Structure 1
Amino acid sequence: MFAAFILGALGSFVYPKEGNWIAVRACVWVEILLLFGIALFFPKAALPHSFQYANLWVILFHGARGLALSFAMFAAAHFISFRMKPEPRRGSDPLFGQGRNFLLLAALLFLCGEYAGIIWCQNGWGDIWHWSSVFFQSTLIILCFMFAFHIPGKNACSNDLRAVIAMMTPLFMLAVAVIKWRVFETAQ
């Protein structure tokens, strides 16, 4: 719900000054409906480990992850609008550059959340890192971000590939969150 609220604020107040901003807003509202649809399947009660949310680093960890998801989905709305344009009009479209900037901000927020998680682990368990499925999933998300940024080439084909991978990054982040929730639910 936090990610849907932030995404709604971004869609309402931050929009491209040039290009087709109505298409970006429409994509944002479809993404918000997707988040609400996913939220219908999540439990409405507090989790058993919710006592940890009094810790500042836990709040920063989860808050930065929610912000990262929101900004990644806002970037995806830009990339979807970019891809919906006819081929000859894409060229050096400002939607692509704005989407890339928001995706970069999402990656930075995700890494800030990971840093808060490192401090949380250090304070809570006395060690900053142990290899587990959660760390593996975070590594895959970071690699997905990096793959979207580091595709070589300056031609239209590489921009299209970057846009497609950048659109898939928030979907991958959502899939990881849903899988973690399902695994947690079945373990209880």
Structure 2
Amino acid sequence: MTAFTPLSLPEVILAIPVRHGDARGYFSETYVQPLYAANGIAAHFVQDNESLSALPGTVRGLHLQAPPFAQAKLVRVLAGAIFDVAVDVRKGSPTYGSWAGARLTAEGGEQLFVPHGFAHGFCTLAPGTRVAYKVDAVYDRASERGILWSDPDIAIDWTLGDGEKILSDKDKVLPCLKDFDSPFVYGAAC
């Protein structure tokens, strides 16, 4: 049975599916809609995405999409490892600007659920890291938003020390949270 654990931001949930293994390898049910819904992950996923990051220290994020294309995400690692992060960007939330994170590995099969109203990002911890994630809305370029990964007011501990980070040009110039006009309001539906 999959284990579900809310993190320090209780809407952000760590799911760890059971793996049944033998000498051949393992089998795991990585997503079972009724089970996930019963444990706080009721999103209706409509698109699967995959990324490959060649080098450790690659940061992708912090990303989100504005309503009506807001995306909840269920993230897992197919190869390598990441430190995965969600930041609460819901105006009026008692945890606005706070973050929760978890290490996700291919070996462990951990998954992180990032709900609407949270920016998402990750940093790769191993070479050749492949990340897959389900989203509950299709990609919409006009709805793209983001927050600077290194915003000092959020102060995410990316667990990589002072090593060099690899970012896209777009992610290098995202605004800090104090300059971000969030399209999300605490308690409002998307």
Which interval holds the TM-score relative to the shorter structure? under 0.3
Q: Which structure would you say has the larger RCO, counting Cα contacts within 8 Å and 6 or more residues apart?
A: 2
Answer with 1 or 2: which has the greater Rg.
1
Structure whose residues are more often strand by fraction: 2
TM-score with structure 2 setting the length: 0.25
TM-score with structure 1 setting the length: 0.25
Structure whose residues are more often helix by fraction: 1
